[in-house]
């Protein structure tokens, strides 16, 4: 078969995402903090984009104005050719103004005000440098640098600091560094003493000797090889020598974790009340010594939307705190309006400015479109979940993305992007927008319930149970059926595990 070139006409449709559309989708997925960071970066990279400055009278300016000026400031600012009182130009060489009653008294000039200041007393009350700014002042404005900067040490730094202050010789310090380097986030020693000895090139006996010294450091139980050793170190440090407690930790820790009290009673020949008292002592110990030195910093949620109830209506307020108000620079607008010369340099400059202005206009438009979309989605959620905003989680209704998309006339993917990683502050608390979209649980002879509402019912049932006789998952199913909620036992188990609630056997208390 011969290979030859041919020309063909083909008509097809395809979706092409322009850079502007990609930018709009990207901004739509960002939360409040991420959007502020992107806008700040655009302000630095695009010279045609600038932040609109809002001049607001300060409290000092308002207090300096006379009552008549303050009351008529709005009217004065509206009149033509007359500046507001806060913008009047007071000069030391200007003519003195005549008061309203016709007297010759003049307002003090700036130089008069400066000369009236007692600078000696001012410097004593407001020290600028030296130790005076740190001694005898407890207010936040004059705190020392050491009081404002904080650095949270990790477990390794905390142990190394103690090793330097303890009676460790040079060789023991070297071995202890290998031990500290083999600790996990729980504070346990990863591997065996032989493994650490092979890494350090030392004898296992020397590593074992230094390990016993490291285990005496704070936090108590650190550098233990397992849970049993960790608890024994803490019992020894607390001088707890109860034979029953020691026996439970040394020999029957697995049964205690399973809360198999009946078998423990048979093996130890004691009563359930005695085992319950011993288990409470063991429960007061710390199974993870490195918990307080975790690397995870607390994450604070900044709501993107605020919902306030005023009267009988709910009002949506977008959080624009820290978000600059953008505009196109007037200087570059003038460059665009000028007639282009015939030189190549002028045409290149005009093309560059035109590209940057177009980019600035698109990001401003994308931000406005993002804010409008979030506002419309939040209003639709309030309309569908009004009972939740008024009464709480137990009145949450089933809702999916299609319901909101059809309500606001947008695609489901757009609603999904809007509700991802964004939080709303409601009268019931702070929730992610995804929280309001739930699957439905059928009811007998009634409308369906949201899955989150069923979870809340399960949580209330477990929280009000008798600790000595906790309700099982099957019992929860029966109680929900009494409330006309049809749910399977495996679904109850799934919801309970999602809420990190232990099984009934592990929740059982004795004694």
For the whole model, what pTM was predicted? 0.64
Question: Is residue 88 scored above 90 in pLDDT?
Answer: no
Which of 164-168, 256-260, 306-310 is the least confident region?
256-260
Show the 3-state SS of 108-154: CCHHHHHHCCCHHHHHHHCCCCCHHHCCCCCCHHHCCHHHHCCCCCC
State residue 146's pLDDT score: 56
Residue 1 pLDDT grade (very low, low, confident, very high; cuts 50, 70, 90): low
Q: Average pLDDT, stretch 130-147?
A: 50
Beta strands in 255-298 (DSSP E): none
Check whether 356 has a pLDDT greater than 80.
Answer: yes
Position with higher pLDDT, 208 vs 511: 208
| pLDDT at 271 exceeding the cut of 50 | yes
CA distance 322 to 40: 10
pLDDT digits (tens, 9 = 90+) for 74-83: 444 434 434 4
| Residue 383 pLDDT grade (very low, low, confident, very high; cuts 50, 70, 90) | very high
Residue 118: per-residue pLDDT: 62
> So what's the pLDDT on residue 334?
75
pLDDT at 300: 81
CATH number given to 155-293 = 1.10.10.1330
Domain boundaries, the chain: 155-293, 305-436, 440-507
Containing 302, the helix (H) or strand (E) segment is none
Q: How far apart are CA 36 and CA 95, in angstroms?
A: 49
DSSP state of 305: E
For residue range 22-52, list pLDDT tens digits in order. Answer: 888 888 888 888 888 889 998 888 888 888 7
| Mean pLDDT of the residues in the chain | 80
Contact call for residues 378 and 316 (beta carbons, < 8 A): yes
Taking residues 319-339, report their average pLDDT.
79
* Statement: residue 412 has pLDDT above 70: yes
Whether residue 467 contacts residue 509, with contact meaning beta carbons closer than 8 Å, is answered with yes
In this prediction, residues 470-495 reach a mean pLDDT of 90
Residue 294's pLDDT band (cuts 50, 70, 90): confident
Of 185, 184, 162, residue with least CA distance to 172: 162
In this prediction, residues 292-315 reach a mean pLDDT of 84
In which band, very low, low, confident or very high, does the pLDDT at 87 lie, cut at 50, 70 and 90? very low
Question: Which own/partner pairs from 262-269 qualify as long-range (CB within 8 Å, at least 24 positions apart)?
Answer: 268/244
CB atoms within 10 A of CB 269: 7
Please give the residue that has the higher pLDDT: either 499 or 14. Answer: 499
Determine the Cα–Cα distance for residues 195 and 201; give it in Å rounded to an integer: 10
Residue 13's pLDDT band, with cuts at 50, 70 and 90, is confident
Fold agreement between 155-293 and 440-507: yes
Over range 158-169, report the average pLDDT.
91
Q: What phi and psi values does residue 447 have, to the nearest 5 degrees?
A: -75, 155
CATH architecture of 440-507: Orthogonal Bundle (1.10)
Q: Write down the pLDDT at residue 345.
A: 63
CB 85 within 8 A of CB 68: no
pLDDT of res. 116: 63
Backbone angles phi, psi at 64, to 5 degrees: -75, -20
8 Å CB contact between 353 and 336:
yes
Q: Please, which pLDDT band fits residue 450 given cuts at 50, 70 and 90?
A: confident
Distance, first Cα to last Cα, the chain:
92
Identify the pLDDT of residue 23.
Answer: 81
């Amino acid at each position: 078969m011969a290979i030859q070139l041919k020309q063909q006409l083909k008509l097809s449709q395809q979706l092409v995402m322009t850079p502007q559309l990609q930018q709009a989708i990207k901004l739509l997925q960002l939360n409040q903090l991420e959007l502020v960071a992107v806008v700040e970066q655009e302000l630095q990279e695009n010279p045609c984009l600038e932040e609109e400055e809002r001049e607001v009278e300060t409290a000092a300016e308002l207090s300096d104005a006379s009552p008549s000026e303050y009351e008529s400031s709005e009217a004065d600012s509206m009149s033509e050719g007359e500046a507001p009182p806060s913008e009047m130009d007071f000069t030391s060489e200007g003519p003195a103004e005549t008061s309203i009653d016709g007297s010759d008294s003049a307002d003090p000039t700036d130089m008069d005000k400066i000369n009236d200041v007692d600078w000696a007393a001012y410097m004593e009350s407001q020290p600028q440098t030296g130790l005076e700014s740190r001694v005898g002042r407890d207010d936040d404005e004059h705190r020392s640098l050491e009081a404002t900067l904080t650095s949270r040490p990790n477990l390794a730094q905390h142990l190394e600091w103690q090793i330097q202050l303890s009676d460790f010789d040079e060789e023991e310090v070297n071995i202890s560094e290998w031990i500290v380097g083999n600790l996990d986030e729980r504070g346990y020693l990863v591997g065996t003493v032989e493994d650490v000895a092979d890494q350090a090139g030392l004898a296992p006996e020397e590593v074992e000797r230094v390990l016993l010294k490291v285990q005496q450091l704070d936090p108590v139980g650190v550098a233990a090889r397992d849970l049993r050793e960790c608890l024994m170190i803490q019992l020894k440090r607390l001088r707890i020598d109860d034979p029953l407690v020691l026996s439970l930790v040394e020999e029957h820790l697995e049964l205690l974790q399973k809360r198999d009290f009946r078998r423990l009673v048979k093996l130890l020949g004691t009563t359930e009340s005695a085992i319950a008292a011993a288990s409470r002592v063991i429960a007061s110990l710390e199974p993870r010594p490195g918990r307080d030195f975790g690397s995870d910093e607390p994450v604070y949620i900044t709501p993107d939307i605020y919902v306030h109830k005023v009267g009988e209506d709910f009002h949506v307020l977008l959080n624009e705190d820290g978000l600059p108000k953008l505009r196109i620079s007037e200087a570059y607008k003038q460059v665009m309006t000028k007639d282009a010369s015939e030189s190549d340099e002028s045409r290149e400059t005009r093309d560059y400015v035109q590209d940057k202005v177009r980019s600035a206009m698109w990001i401003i438009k994308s931000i406005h479109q993002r804010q409008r979309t979030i506002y419309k989605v939040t209003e639709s959620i309030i309309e569908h979940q009004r009972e939740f905003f008024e009464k709480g989680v137990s009145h949450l209704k089933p809702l999916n993305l299609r319901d909101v998309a059809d309500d606001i006339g947008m695609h489901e993917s757009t609603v999904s992007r809007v509700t991802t990683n964004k939080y709303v502050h409601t009268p019931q608390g702070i929730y992610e927008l995804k929280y309001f979209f739930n699957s439905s649980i059928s009811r007998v002879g009634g409308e369906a319930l949201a899955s989150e509402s069923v979870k809340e019912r399960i949580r209330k049932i477990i929280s009000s149970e008798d600790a000595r006789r906790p309700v099982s998952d099957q019992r929860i199913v029966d109680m929900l059926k009494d409330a006309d909620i049809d749910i399977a036992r495996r679904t109850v188990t799934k919801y309970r595990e999602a809420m990190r609630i232990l099984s009934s056997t592990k929740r059982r208390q004795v004694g």
